Structure 1
Amino acid sequence: MEEFIDGGTEDRNREMAPKEKFSKLFDELKSCSFSGQKEKIEEMNRLIDEMNKEEFRLIYTIDLFNNINKTIEEEKLTMENAILLLNHVGYCKVLKNVWNPCFEKSSLSRRFEKMTEEEEKKKEEKNEKLLVDLCECYLLFHFDFSSELISICVPGLLKAALKKEESEENQTEVEMALLALSEMGYCEVKQELYLKEITEIVKHQEHHNLTQLAYQSAWLFLIYRFWVDNSLEEVIVNELHFGREAARELEELTRNVNWKKKEEEMGITERKAMDIILRWSRSIGNYFYFCELWNEEYVGLFSCLVDVFRASRDNHSGICEECIQLFNAVTKNRAVKLDVLLKSGAIDAALEEIQRRTLNRGMIYEFINFFQLISLRLKEKGEVKTTEEERKELKRKIFEKMVEEGYEDIIISFQKTNRFYFADDTVFIQL
């Protein structure tokens, strides 16, 4: 009889919605012995891994953080185990790209900020592991960062990320430290707090415990700094070879995904690879928003983006749309040579895609915008590092390519059926 009852309970648990199941596990956590809490939290973390973005949003609330704080206050949850749960929540919040400033309003946020400041002030017996954990929670969950806590967290997490001992545990710690740093966004950080260390991490990644996510996070942290400090461009482009490294990583990640599967059919490893691809695309977009320095390595980078675009267009519209938006951002950047769009295959890919009957209106608009930007660039006689003769030759090649693919007929068709989206004077490329 006991076996039958246990089996029935297990079946009911499987049928519960993820939010209710998570709440049930959290309630059970409070009555666990401290030694049993870790096992229960590992079960909660596995459940979080299986959640989709919308399911995760339902548990990522101020109530979660206030309940964790209350459970700590009541001495029903150790700080070590609380951080074990929080780190995984933060990790999934980043990869699932969920934005919600609820942590900042919680009682747990105030506790952690106070603990971070107090731990940093200790002259002796400072708990370095606890300080790193607190800094990670601060950066993973916050949206506004005080200069005082930045001066504590950035050097502390970079020190943790520089660990060279090869082990799975160290690899996880390095990944978490860099992931937290990448969540700082565009806030200003003094170069002396980070530049030497982040350059070493990026330049010598083979000597560190860097996963693909860790390496991408290191780059994202640096690219965000570029937004407020354009003196970093020379380092990013010519010393660290951003174009080459981003292309290499994208190529490897693309090979690791079975693009014929829909997202819901993919396992955790493939979904993670796709999440990292999206993070790379955003890093690239952020960089080219302010880029003023041309490098031939960009051709290889854009070729990889075209490969991602073609691979994702059947089953992964989110990544596909991200790619065409990136093509538009690059085309707007006058520092990027326009012939890179031909060499990389971006124009070919866009012409192929614009003829697909399944294209939604938002994507149609992005493609038309792409070709209009090209046309406007070709009209400019001062096209970057291009002679008048080169400009005319490029214009001729693009024009012939678009005539061959029936571009004008496509535009006329779209104008007739989507009058809201396109003006009568939609730009055509002409010699």
Structure 2
Amino acid sequence: MDSIIVPCLLKAALRKEESKEVQKEAEMALLALSSIRENKFVEQELYLNDIIEIIEYHQEHRNLTRLAYQSAWQFLTDRFFVDNSLDGEIVSELHFAREVGKELEEFAKCVDWKKEKEEEMEKETKEELVLMRWFNEIFNFLNLNALWKEEFAGLVGGVVQVSRAAKGNNEEISNRCIYPLRNATEKRDVKVEDLLKSGAIDAVLEGMQRPKLNDETLFDCLQFFSTVSMRLEEKKRDEREEEERKATKRKIVL
């Protein structure tokens, strides 16, 4: 079935005519593709070139809706669960971290965070639903990619912007922002300077001060600061060892 369904859906999503009808068809096709879950193996030759073309074309022309673009990424990143050879395409060729960082920055600006009516507060907007889908992908991405790369700082920066925009307006999204920040600190080669520059440390501190804070999110906040503290201790130790090495070298030369 996959050998028939996947190429047909990709063919619909590849259409580049600028019309609402074509855009809607592409969105529905990509949404259907994103429902093919991570435990479902699909042969690379059925999808890889086409999904890369779809994502790259959108990066240049911005032709997809926010939901369609997220769905394209979700289909691709879900394949990574059963085929880790996709790391190069996801990280280096298509720049997942950079792109999602940009998407989050846009969401921080476009979501109607300050809902005035009670019925509005209880109803999720389409933007909020897509944003929550992005957070699922960020969760998977950070867990599956062991090495910290320079572009990841942009992803963290996007999470920070959403965290600040959602503060006091959307508790669920505020809580979801904390885990990827905690996860980032657990990368062995993360730089504390990147966390400071992106505002992650301030964002988590602000998150801890929210009146409605569940136990799980509080644990993530505490774990974040515990890991940052450990990283600072490691940096101090490395600097001390480097100074000792240089001092020993000077003694030998003299």
| TM bin (shorter chain) | 0.7 to 0.9
Q: Which amino acid aligns with 1:154?
A: V
| 1:203 aligns with one of 45, 48, 56 | 56
| 1:239 aligns with one of 93, 104, 112 | 93
| 1:372 aligns with one of 218, 226, 229 | 226
What SS does structure 2 have at the residue aligned with 1:175? helix
Shift of residue 207 of structure 1?
4.8
Q: Which amino acid aligns with 2:54?
A: I
Shift of residue 379 of structure 1?
4.9
2:148 aligns to what?
294
Shift of residue 362 of structure 1?
3.5
Does residue 1:189 correspond to 2:42, yes or no? yes
Does residue 1:389 correspond to 2:239, yes or no? yes
Q: Take 1:387 and 1:191, find their aligned partners in 2: how far apart are those partners?
A: 46
Shift of residue 318 of structure 1?
0.8
TM-score, normalised by the number of residues in structure 2: 0.84
Deviation digits for residues 229-282 of structure 1 (CA, Å, limit 9, x no counterpart): 2221121122111122112211122211121226842698x7111111111111
Greater Cα offset, 314-323 or 294-303: 294-303
User: Do the aligned residues in 1 keep the contact of 2:171 with 2:212 (CA within 8 Å)?
Assistant: no
1:156 aligns to what?
8
2:126 aligns to what?
272
User: Do the aligned residues in 2 keep the contact of 1:170 with 1:209 (CA within 8 Å)?
Assistant: no
- The change in CA–CA distance for 1:170 and 1:334 in structure 2 (over 3 A counts) is same
- The change in CA–CA distance for 1:376 and 1:188 in structure 2 (over 3 A counts) is farther
Unaligned stretches of 5+ residues in structure 1: 1-148, 393-431
- The change in CA–CA distance for 1:254 and 1:184 in structure 2 (over 3 A counts) is same
Does residue 1:219 correspond to 2:73, yes or no? yes
- The change in CA–CA distance for 1:335 and 1:203 in structure 2 (over 3 A counts) is farther
**Alignment of structure 1 residues 12-27 onto 2, 5 Å:** none
Q: Which amino acid aligns with 1:272?
A: K
Shift of residue 376 of structure 1?
3.9
State the superposition RMSD in angstroms. Answer: 2.7
- The change in CA–CA distance for 1:343 and 1:204 in structure 2 (over 3 A counts) is same
Shift of residue 357 of structure 1?
4.2
1:10 aligns to what?
none
Q: Which amino acid aligns with 1:168?
A: K
Report % sequence identity: 51
Q: Which amino acid aligns with 1:367?
A: C
Shift of residue 294 of structure 1?
3.4
- The change in CA–CA distance for 1:349 and 1:208 in structure 2 (over 3 A counts) is closer
1:331 aligns to what?
185
Aligned residue-pair number: 239
Query: Which protein has the larger Cα radius of gyration, Structure 1 or Structure 2?
Result: 1
Does residue 1:254 correspond to 2:104, yes or no? no
2:24 aligns to what?
172
Deviation digits for residues 134-190 of structure 1 (CA, Å, limit 9, x no counterpart): xxxxxxxxxxxxxxx222211111111101111111110100110111111212211
What SS does structure 2 have at the residue aligned with 1:302? helix
| 1:343 aligns with one of 192, 197, 200 | 197
Greater Cα offset, 171-180 or 335-344: 335-344
User: Do the aligned residues in 1 keep the contact of 2:153 with 2:194 (CA within 8 Å)?
Assistant: yes
Q: Which amino acid aligns with 1:202?
A: I
Shift of residue 308 of structure 1?
0.5
Deviation digits for residues 76-133 of structure 1 (CA, Å, limit 9, x no counterpart): xxxxxxxxxxxxxxxxxxxxxxxxxxxxxxxxxxxxxxxxxxxxxxxxxxxxxxxxxx
Shift of residue 225 of structure 1?
1.2
**Alignment of structure 1 residues 351-430 onto 2, 5 Å:** 351-380=205-234, 388-389=238-239
Deviation digits for residues 189-231 of structure 1 (CA, Å, limit 9, x no counterpart): 1111111000000111155741111111111111111222222
Greater Cα offset, 359-368 or 242-251: 359-368
Unaligned stretches of 5+ residues in structure 2: 243-254
Shift of residue 387 of structure 1?
9.3
What SS does structure 2 have at the residue aligned with 1:228? coil
Shift of residue 295 of structure 1?
2.8
User: Do the aligned residues in 1 keep the contact of 2:104 with 2:161 (CA within 8 Å)?
Assistant: no
User: Do the aligned residues in 2 keep the contact of 1:164 with 1:208 (CA within 8 Å)?
Assistant: no
Q: Take 1:165 and 1:391, find their aligned partners in 2: how far apart are those partners?
A: 61
Q: Which amino acid aligns with 1:239?
A: E
2:175 aligns to what?
321
| 2:166 aligns with one of 299, 308, 312 | 312
What SS does structure 2 have at the residue aligned with 1:339? helix
Q: Which amino acid aligns with 2:89?
A: V
What SS does structure 1 have at the residue aligned with 2:81? helix
Q: Which amino acid aligns with 1:193?
A: L
Q: Take 1:327 and 1:320, find their aligned partners in 2: how far apart are those partners?
A: 12
